[in-house]
């Protein structure tokens, strides 16, 4: 049993009705992962989207096999991206590994190939920068983590401060936890509001944070200052990688026109 099978078998399945399941076409969902992802960026949406009727979730990465996430967590049994022929929905999560992934030509080529033929293209947190680097967001509006959002403009993307942004068939979520909200918006689009509300009730998704500090405009000044100082430690390396990726994306666009 591979890693994805083990996860799904351990999940309460709202669709466990044999006659309906037999009649439901599959809805293939690819989570395109890379080293040092923030695991909640995809496990949050996974918990929701795996409950879509007919869902078949695939965890994939450039090389497949085992993948390290942030904070010591690892995921096993991933599928190589080049072995995934296509999907109905592509989800690209964020994380500090974005800095390396945004210059990984194989990763960008894979998500571009999948995204161009998917019914829905989605991202969480800094995943929108990866979609942009792959040429999938040019001319669109998109969300991103608040500390990285302004960098979307380098790819011809309009940064949007909303928690979830939809532009055509593209759904992008802000930082980390916004991925859950994004997934529910997609679920309502695909399976209807009633199904989305049923799943929300089943997983008791009723956020009530103990502190009103989830956005920079809400955080207390001392808290925001420390957060910005921590971001500054990687800002130069991050911005240089984004700048190179943006230049490469512009060149690729020009060559293809």
Find the catalytic residue in 87, 91, 125, 144: 125
User: Which residues have a Cβ under 8 Å from the Cβ of 79 and sit 6 or more positions away?
Assistant: 58, 59, 60, 61, 64
3-class DSSP assignment, residue 32 = strand
| Catalytic-residue membership of 125 | yes
HSE-CB for 59 with a 13 A CA cutoff: 28
HSE-CB for 172 with a 13 A CA cutoff: 31
Cβ contacts of 227-235, under 8 Å, gap ≥ 24: 227/147, 228/147, 231/147, 234/96, 234/99
What does R_g of the chain's alpha carbons equal in angstroms?
A: 18
Six token digits for residue 246: 């943006």
> What is the Cα–Cα distance from 156 to 188, expressed in whole angstroms?
29
Q: Which residues are catalytic?
A: 125
């Amino acid at each position: 049993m591979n890693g994805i099978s083990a996860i799904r078998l351990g999940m309460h399945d709202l669709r466990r009705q044999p006659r309906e399941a037999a009649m439901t076409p599959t809805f293939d969902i690819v989570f395109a992962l890379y080293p040092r992802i923030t695991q909640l960026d995809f496990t949050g949406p996974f918990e929701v989207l795996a409950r879509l009727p007919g869902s078949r979730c695939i965890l994939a990465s450039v090389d497949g096999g085992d993948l390290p996430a942030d904070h010591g967590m690892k995921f096993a049994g991933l599928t190589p991206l080049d072995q995934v022929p296509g999907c109905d929905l592509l989800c690209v999560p964020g994380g500090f590994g974005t800095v390396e992934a945004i210059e990984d030509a194989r990763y960008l080529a894979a998500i571009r190939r999948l995204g161009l033929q998917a019914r829905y293209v989605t991202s969480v947190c800094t995943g929108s920068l990866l979609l942009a680097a792959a040429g999938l967001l040019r001319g669109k509006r998109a969300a991103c983590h608040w500390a990285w959002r302004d960098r979307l403009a380098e790819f011809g993307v309009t940064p949007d401060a909303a928690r979830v942004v939809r532009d055509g068939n593209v759904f992008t979520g802000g930082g980390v936890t916004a991925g859950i909200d994004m997934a529910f918006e997609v679920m309502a689009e695909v399976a209807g509001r009633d199904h989305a509300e049923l799943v929300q009730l089943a997983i008791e998704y009723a956020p009530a944070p103990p502190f009103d500090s989830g956005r920079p405009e809400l955080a207390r000044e001392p808290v925001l200052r420390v957060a910005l100082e921590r971001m500054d430690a990687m800002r130069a390396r991050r911005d240089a990688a984004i700048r190179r990726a943006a230049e490469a994306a512009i060149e690729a666009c020009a060559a293809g026109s």
